[in-house]
Amino acid sequence: MAADIAGTAVRTSRVTRAIIYAALLFFAFYYMLPLYVMVVNSVKPLEEIRGGNMLALPQQFSIAPWLSAWSTAQIGVQPTGLQPYFLNSILIVVPAVTVSTILGALNGYVLTKWRFPGANIVFGMMLLACFIPFQIVLIPMARILGLLGLAGTIYGLILVHVVYGLGFTTLFFRNYYEAFPTELVKAAQIDGARFFQIFRRILLPSSGPIIVVTVIWQFTNVWNDFLFGASFAGFDSMPITVALNNLVNSSTGVKEYNVHFAGALMAALPTLIVYIVSGRYFVRGLMAGAVKG
Amino acid sequence: MAFLEIEGLTKRFGTTEVLKGIDLAIEEGGFLVLVGPSGCGKSTLLNTIAGLETVTDGEIRIAGRRVNELHPSKRDIAMVFQSYALYPNMTVAGNIAFGMEMRGVAKAERDAAIARVAEVLQIRHLLDRRPSQLSGGQRQRVAMGRALVRDPQIFLFDEPLSNLDAKLRIDMRTEIKRLHHAMGRTMVYVTHDQIEAMTLATRIAVLKDGVLQQFGTPAEIYNEPVNVFVADFMGSPAMNLVPAKGRQEGNRSLLALTRADEPDLLLGLTGPSMRIAAENRDVLIGIRPEAITDADGADRNSKHIVEAECLVEVVEPAGADTYVVTRLGGREVIARMRSDARILPGERVPFAFNMEKAVFFDPVSEARVA
Amino acid sequence: MSITLQRSAAISPPARTARERLGDFLPRIVLAPSFAAVLVFVYGFIIFTGYLSFTDSKILPSFDFVGWKNYVRLWSLPNWWIALENLAIFASLYIVICTAIGLGLAILLDQKIRGEGVLRPIYLYPMAISFIVTGTAWKWFLDPGIGIERIVRLWGWSDFTFDWIKDTQMAIYCVVIAAVWQSSGFVMAMFLAGLRGIDNEIIKAAQIDGATNFKLYKRIIIPMLRPAFLSAFVVLAHLAIKSYDLVIALTNGGPGRATELPATFMYSYTFTRNSMGIGAASAVIMLMMIASVIIPYIYAEVGGGNRGR
């Protein structure tokens, strides 16, 4: 058994092990607590939250908060619920992820298999672009979107997310293709294959893992984004994160906590599901982004 | 009383039994080599001797004292690892001194010990460097220095030369042997390389799948293997193992080896092996390449050389010798002939079989029968 | 009669067709749109914003140069100092606590724990959700009216108070709590990967040397984790400086300005307070802060890494 479980070969006594498990469980509670609170309180009627204990299980089970959050809650001046904004997020995320992933793959391909003088500088510049605080581009981007007639539209947001996602997607693919044997490319060239053919027939079929990692990373980042949504979206094109914040922060008078929690869960569900399903690939993305080179 | 005694040692990981009732002993100052293919349990056995793994059953005794429950640092042992296991964030001096620091040895003493060891291993000029700045061979010396400085009763080596290139491996092998002679300490050495085993050991333990196959001196292991596995594993090129059948023709005890398109090759048997003929028994005959030679190169001291003509399939000149391949009993048989033996593939050439060196195995149980 | 050698006309290689020459450039053509986009939308915009910080832009960008006036004004604003002070408190606590928890959990998880496959995803999932969602959850959980304070009171300690989120002095610590919750699992993953990369034979050697578990971690394992420490620091510092979403959702900068951070400062001064020039200046300062962390790191990685290879 000791040989099956991963870990350092350190010896620990029984007492120590008990303490270790206790500590780990404690932290598991700490991390699960907010999720639990959100789930449990999103199905309670409002009186129960106000009158009772947030940690308690619902005495009266009510699906009304979810329905309200979805279709009738007040977002700004419209009582439409989060539904239209959920849709907006999907409309933004899908094209943005697709385009930035494809471009990232091509960029990574070029940077590793078709080296040219200055390729490293180009990569370096694109890499640095991953780290900028986005506050620095808000003003000019607002201007450009205005000039292009894209201000406040879904297309504008797609453009923004593609551009600022390029750095990361290129980084992921570049690191992955760097490890890919160049001899295969050379062999294909001798066989007469050309630029796009080599990409399509040789590299792409082996790119499964990195495509998954990149798509998950981009999906999570774009779906969870708030800053760009708040800065560049109009009222009809807001993503769900902005709508959620609207719902929670600008409600005056009666604060419907249960609706807030239901809405928050709605906004979190897609990325959570992606995370649960993909697990390992998600972690790989996190690690690749942080521990690069 | 042997210095290191291992009695009925069994080790289980969950339900998997990795070591099955091992019995070994090595005298003080001896060099015990544990050899076997990957997964045979030799490293696990070494780890139990070190105390890095617990023992499920059986006993380990050092200098007569039971050590099963002792922590590794209390067993008075030192270990050299395959990957050297040097602490990367310490200098060479720091690496060598770490154990002493843990034991609370005073600084002056530590420095003196480091200097002594550095002199012996010729690493004095490396003391202030970090492991990442050293070559493979240098790292191995530092690892040995760390072990030497403990001045233990037993040195343990876990495949220390596997990560070195061929030439360096041979150099370091000689150094280890020289160190053993100089210090006279007991050493237990794990390797999968049977040449290392043969050159370094005073006793060899051959392991397979957690079971001790044979324990003896290198000569015993080499000349009197107890089963097919040991016979095949030790020696390079490997021992020839050919199916054969005993045949009694009047008062001649013979062993028949089949040949393609030819009558059987008949080899005369003497001594205890004669009963194979009497019983008409199926056996595997084991005979090493150097025991099959050309007529002139045969061992003059042997009383039992059988000459026979065989068809040559392949000739491999190897500088000092020429390896000649023929086919008997449906298997390839390699003979070692003198380098100036002029032989061409397709020829029929006399082969001299030194039957004194032949061993016989039962084909089913693979145990030695004569 | 002399024999002269006739030199044959030099054979020149066939001229490359226009199509082939284009093919040579194809890789660069493919890369070009992305590179151009980065040049314009990142570096170009940085220059643009930088330029704006030297102008008297108010609601809309203006191009009238006013020198250092915005910066002087910026550093005289108490709100900016509050933002910086908050950032200092927040960032240092966030980095230190996340690193401590991350390292601690990683070491614990590395002890051949059964159920690691269940625990690890639990520690990591907060990274998957938006800062807005995190802020929303913690906002109500820390609220004295319905959150922790009320829960503990309901359990019997009727004098218990926990109204940090409404307290101007303590609100920033609530941001720390929520942010640590979100990111410490990720730091744990980084340290766990680092621990798993440590050769087990080094551990065995240390055991033979007689190192206690404590000494083993202190003298050998933790020093070997230096790259992970560095990476964690860079990522956390980066996240801290950029923090916007979490603060907006949790406290909206409040109460009052108690949780104002440079990111919220920039946004409000640019878009709601019509002082674009100052907003631009604050963005430039943010960029410089991040650069001061990232650039030395990249330099050390690339420069030092090459030497080690």
Whether residue C296 has pLDDT greater than 90: no
pLDDT averaged over every residue in chain A: 86
Whether residue A106 has pLDDT greater than 50: yes
Whether residue C308 has pLDDT greater than 70: no
Residue with tokens 């005694």: B5
| Residues C202, B87: C-beta atoms closer than 8 Å | yes
Q: How confident is the model at residue C303 (pLDDT cuts 50, 70, 90)?
A: low
Residue B366 lies in a domain: no
Encode pLDDT of B100-153 as tens digits: 888 888 999 999 999 999 988 889 999 999 998 999 889 989 999 999 898 898
The whole-number pLDDT of residue A189 equals: 84
Residues B272 and B323 in one domain: yes
Q: How confident is the model at residue A87 (pLDDT cuts 50, 70, 90)?
A: very high
Region A64-88: what's the mean pLDDT? 85
* ipTM of this predicted structure: 0.85
| DSSP one-letter string for chain A | -TTTS-S------HHHHHHHHHHHHHHHHHHHHHHHHHHHHTTS-HHHHHHS-TTSPPSS---HHHHIIIIIS-BTTB---SHHHHHHHHHHHHHHHHHHHHHHHHHHHHHHHS--TTHHHHHHHHHHGGGS-THHHHHHHHHHHHHHT-TBSHHHHHHHHHHHHHHHHHHHHHHHHHTS-HHHHHHHHHTT--HHHHIIIIIGGG-HHHHHHHHHHHHHHHHH--HHHHHHB-TTT--HHHHHHHHHHS--SS--HHHHHHHHHHHHHHHHHHHHHHTHHHHHHHHHHHS--
Whether residue C257 has pLDDT greater than 70: yes
Whether residue A203 has pLDDT greater than 60: yes
Region A21-29: what's the mean pLDDT? 91
Domain count of the fold of chain B: 2
| CB neighbours of residue A26 within 10 Å | 9
Residue B73 makes CB contacts below 8 A (sequence gap 6+) with B99, B102, B103, C207, C208, C209, C210, C211
Residue B107 lies in a domain: yes
Residues B182 and B291 in one domain: no
Whether residue A292 has pLDDT greater than 60: no
The whole-angstrom separation of Cα A85 and Cα A267 is 10
Q: How confident is the model at residue C15 (pLDDT cuts 50, 70, 90)?
A: low
Alpha-carbon torsion, ordered B6, B8, B13, B18, to 10 deg = 80
| Residues C130, A103: C-beta atoms closer than 8 Å | no
The whole-number pLDDT of residue C302 equals: 67
C201–chain B nearest CA distance, Å: 5
Q: What CATH number did the domain enclosing B89 receive?
A: 3.40.50.300
pLDDT averaged over every residue in chain B: 89
Of A45-54, A282-291, B26-35, B162-171, the poorest mean pLDDT is in A282-291
Task: Tell me the count of A-C CB pairs closer than 8 A.
Answer: 284
The whole-angstrom separation of Cα C295 and Cα C229 is 16
Q: What CATH number did the domain enclosing B267 receive?
A: 2.40.50.140
| Residues C231, A268: C-beta atoms closer than 8 Å | no
CA distances from C303 to A293, C228, C308 (A): 12, 17, 9
Q: How confident is the model at residue C151 (pLDDT cuts 50, 70, 90)?
A: confident
| Residues A3, B52: C-beta atoms closer than 8 Å | no
Whether residue A290 has pLDDT greater than 70: no
Residues B45 and B65 in one domain: yes
Encode pLDDT of B187-228 as tens digits: 999 998 888 999 999 999 999 999 999 999 999 999 999 999
Q: Quick check: B77 contacting C, CB < 8 Å? A: yes
| CA nearest neighbour of B91 among B44, B150, B131 | B131
Instruction: Note down the domain range covering B89.
Output: 4-233
Encode pLDDT of A239-254 as tens digits: 999 999 988 887 677 7
Specify the domain boundaries for CATH 1.10.3720.10 within chain A. 83-290
Contacts C228 to B, Cβ<8 Å? none
Q: Quick check: B52 contacting A, CB < 8 Å? A: yes
The whole-number pLDDT of residue C306 equals: 43
Encode pLDDT of C29-87 as tens digits: 888 899 999 999 999 999 999 988 888 888 888 888 888 888 988 999 998 999 999 99
Alpha-carbon torsion, ordered B215, B220, B223, B228, to 10 deg = -10
Contacts C207 to B, Cβ<8 Å? 52, 71-73
Residues B33 and B166 in one domain: yes
**Partner-chain residue, chosen from A2, A8, A38, that has the shortest CB–CB distance to C195:** A8
The whole-number pLDDT of residue B1 equals: 54
The whole-angstrom separation of Cα A281 and Cα B5 is 50
Task: Quote the percentage of chain C above a pLDDT of 90.
Answer: 32
Question: At which of B233, B253, B281 does a domain end?
Answer: B233
The whole-number pLDDT of residue A9 equals: 58
- Give the residues across from B35 on adjacent strands: B191, B206
Residue C44 makes CB contacts below 8 A (sequence gap 6+) with A140
Q: Which CATH architecture has domain C77-308?
A: Orthogonal Bundle (1.10)
The whole-number pLDDT of residue B207 equals: 93
Task: Quote the percentage of chain C above a pLDDT of 70.
Answer: 92
Q: Which CATH number among 1.10.3720.10, 3.40.50.300, 1.20.1260.10, 2.60.120.10 corresponds to the domain A83-290?
A: 1.10.3720.10
All chains having 3 or more CB pairs closer than 8 angstroms to chain A: B, C
| Residues A7, C123: C-beta atoms closer than 8 Å | no
A252–chain C nearest CA distance, Å: 14
The whole-number pLDDT of residue A2 equals: 36
Question: At which of B214, B233, B252 does a domain end?
Answer: B233
DSSP state of B36: -
Region A47-68: what's the mean pLDDT? 83
Encode pLDDT of B291-300 as tens digits: 998 888 777 8
The whole-number pLDDT of residue C46 equals: 93
Residues in chain B with pLDDT values less than 50 = none
Residues B201 and B258 in one domain: no
Q: Which A residues in the span 2-21 are in contact with B, Cβ-Cβ below 8 Å?
A: 2-4, 9
| Residues A1, B13: C-beta atoms closer than 8 Å | yes
Encode pLDDT of C100-144 as tens digits: 999 999 999 888 888 888 888 899 899 889 999 999 899 888 888
Whether residue A80 has pLDDT greater than 50: yes
Region A213-235: what's the mean pLDDT? 91
Contact assessment for residue A133 and residue C282, using Cβ atoms and an 8 Å cutoff: no
Contact assessment for residue C110 and residue C222, using Cβ atoms and an 8 Å cutoff: no
The whole-number pLDDT of residue C10 equals: 54
Residues B147 and B25 in one domain: yes
Residues B149 and B259 in one domain: no
Region A173-183: what's the mean pLDDT? 87
All chains having 3 or more CB pairs closer than 8 angstroms to chain C: A, B
pTM > 0.95: yes or no: no
Encode pLDDT of C167-202 as tens digits: 888 889 999 999 999 999 889 988 988 898 888 889
Question: At which of B212, B233, B254 does a domain end?
Answer: B233
The whole-number pLDDT of residue A88 equals: 92
Contacts C279 to A, Cβ<8 Å? 139
Contacts A2 to B, Cβ<8 Å? 13
Contacts B73 to C, Cβ<8 Å? 207-211
Task: Tell me the count of B-C CB pairs closer than 8 A.
Answer: 65
Q: How confident is the model at residue A1 (pLDDT cuts 50, 70, 90)?
A: very low
What is the DSSP pairing of strand B77-80 with strand B57-62? unpaired
Region A190-194: what's the mean pLDDT? 84
